Each structure stands twice: as structure tokens, then as C-alpha cells.
């Protein structure tokens, strides 16, 4: 339940950053948008985010056309890593088998650049 709430709140924070933070908007314009999602490996908890320079939408589930997916071993691992979303935390999670990246790692770098403005 905590992970579902956290992912829903992340959507609100992204929308708020788009409205209030010009650096966030500028970075998103340079990237020309990003579609990404977060889920547990068993897909019991999943949420996707579609970000463009003009709007951000969020919804349940993981569509097949996403640029990037972050799959976590379980909800506890997801919460622990998402509380401090540093590059080192994600690398350690991948080494330990807690995080699996589906997509291009360059998109992960783009996402981390955006998340620092939250």
C-alpha cells in the first residue's frame, strides 16, 4: 500500500514541478519528453508516467510502449531505493538483484536529471 501511495504522489510531484519549476520544464523540452514506469517484478504494483514539455499524465499499469521501466524485486526494495534515488542506490540495487532496468540506460540518466528538480 505504501508503494502505491508513493507512486501516486510521485505523479503529483512531477505535475507540480512542471507548473512551478522552469528548470524542470527546460530539461523536459531538451529531452522532448519521456515515457517511463515503475513496477514490482510480479507486476502487482505498477504505474506509468507520460511526460511531455506541456503535460504529465500518470496511470496504473505498464503499457508496452514505454521508453524505460524500473522493475523492483518487491515493494520493500522499491521504497528503500526510491526514498533516496541516487545513481549509487540504483547501481547497488542492480548489483544486488533488487532493481532491473528495462530500456536504455541513457533514459535512466535523463530521468535522474529530471528527478533532481523535485
Range of the domain at 100: 2-115
Give the pTM: 0.91
CB 76 within 8 A of CB 45: no
Predicted confidence (pLDDT) per residue in 11-66, tens digit? 999 999 999 999 999 999 999 899 999 999 999 999 999 999 999 999 999 999 99
**99-103, strands of its sheet edge to edge:** 56-60, 46-51, 34-40, 68-72, 99-103
Strand partners, 71: 39, 100
Q: Is the pLDDT of residue 85 over 80?
A: no
**Phi-psi category of residue 103: left, alpha or beta, with phi > 0 → left and psi -120 to 50 → alpha:** left
> How far apart are alpha carbons 115 and 91 in whole angstroms?
16
Domains in the chain, number: 1
CATH code of residue 9: 3.30.1050.10
Mean model confidence pLDDT for the chain = 92
pLDDT score for 116: 86
Amino acid at each position: 500500500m505504501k508503494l502505491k501511495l508513493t507512486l501516486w504522489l510521485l505523479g503529483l510531484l512531477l505535475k507540480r514541478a512542471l507548473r512551478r519549476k522552469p528548470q524542470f520544464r527546460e530539461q523536459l523540452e531538451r529531452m522532448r519528453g519521456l515515457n517511463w514506469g515503475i513496477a514490482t517484478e510480479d507486476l502487482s504494483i505498477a504505474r506509468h508516467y507520460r511526460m511531455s514539455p506541456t503535460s504529465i499524465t500518470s496511470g496504473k499499469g505498464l503499457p508496452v510502449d514505454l521508453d524505460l521501466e524500473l522493475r523492483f524485486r518487491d515493494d520493500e526494495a522499491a521504497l528503500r531505493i526510491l526514498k533516496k534515488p541516487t545513481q549509487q542506490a540504483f547501481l547497488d540495487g542492480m548489483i544486488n538483484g533488487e532493481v532491473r532496468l528495462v530500456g536504455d540506460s541513457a533514459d535512466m540518466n535523463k530521468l535522474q536529471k529530471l528527478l533532481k528538480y523535485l
